[in-house]
Amino acid sequence: MNKDRSGFELTAMALDRIMGDDRHIGLIMGDSSSNNELDLTKIDRTNIFTIRCNRGLRDETVNRPDFLMISDRQPYLQELEARRLEKASEDGVKLLLSTTIFDRSVNCLRYDKKPPITARPVPRFDFYRWRVSTDRRCPPKFDTFGEELASFANVAGQMLQAAVILGAEVIGCIGIDLEWPKDKPSHFFGDGEKEGCYEFGSLESTLEKFLKAKKLLRRRGIRVLNLSPWKNTPFSKVFGNSSFDAFVGDKA
């Protein structure tokens, strides 16, 4: 990939070539602490491609994901400074970084009321460009990285769109609960609030986007399975609950 060329259209062509195989089962992995209650070593990488997000590289108990997706400047900056992104790129992880991270015209408001993080310089290591829409009216997109993907005010929505674009016909979801239980850590790596994490602005609007995505994907014959061990979460109200062990054992 030519790092000096601009335009996120390049991502679509590059990833189309990469994903020209028979892996039509995708697993998108959020950072909820519900992941700690699953045996992630059971994931069969020969049949399932994996997409993690944000600080997912901190999980050293399992193999590196196929993809890491980030659109938020806060986790990007933290993982950049820790050198995890550069190392992952060298190791062959395909980094999907929204160009809004580097766009000075985009003002990333923070729901924790702290000052917004300014645009970052474009990194020198290899990554794949895409772009999250700043228009809240943008509908979910499932055909190409060559157009802006919808924001769900939660990176899980972008991962879902990416999994479909990459060819998944069945998509498992873990670590996406859309709630922070008071008796559990917010994230698999610990207390997210101390790591600069913050809750999204409107749970209702996020759930509306997932409901719309569910209807669109149902028309395409694409199944989305919530594999979290936690029941009665906001995310499960949209996608129900399915067995993680059955997913990784029977390949859905």
What stretch of H or E contains 204?
A: helix 203-220
Alpha carbon separation from 73 to 25, 92, 116, 210 (Å, rounded): 29, 22, 9, 23
pTM of the full structure: 0.88
Confidence at residue 174, expressed as pLDDT on a 0 to 100 scale: 96
Confidence at residue 31, expressed as pLDDT on a 0 to 100 scale: 92
CATH number of 9-250: 3.90.1480
Confidence at residue 210, expressed as pLDDT on a 0 to 100 scale: 97
pLDDT tens per residue, range 103-126: 988 876 655 566 777 878 899 998
> What residue type is 33 in one-letter code?
S
Confidence at residue 24, expressed as pLDDT on a 0 to 100 scale: 86
CA distance 228 to 83: 29
CA distance 234 to 41: 26
- Residues in CB range of 44: below 8 A, 6 or more apart: 248, 251
Confidence at residue 131, expressed as pLDDT on a 0 to 100 scale: 93
What residues in the chain have per-residue pLDDT under 70? Answer: 1-23, 45, 108-114, 191-201, 250-252
Confidence at residue 249, expressed as pLDDT on a 0 to 100 scale: 82
Confidence at residue 26, expressed as pLDDT on a 0 to 100 scale: 93
Give the domain ranges of the chain. 9-250
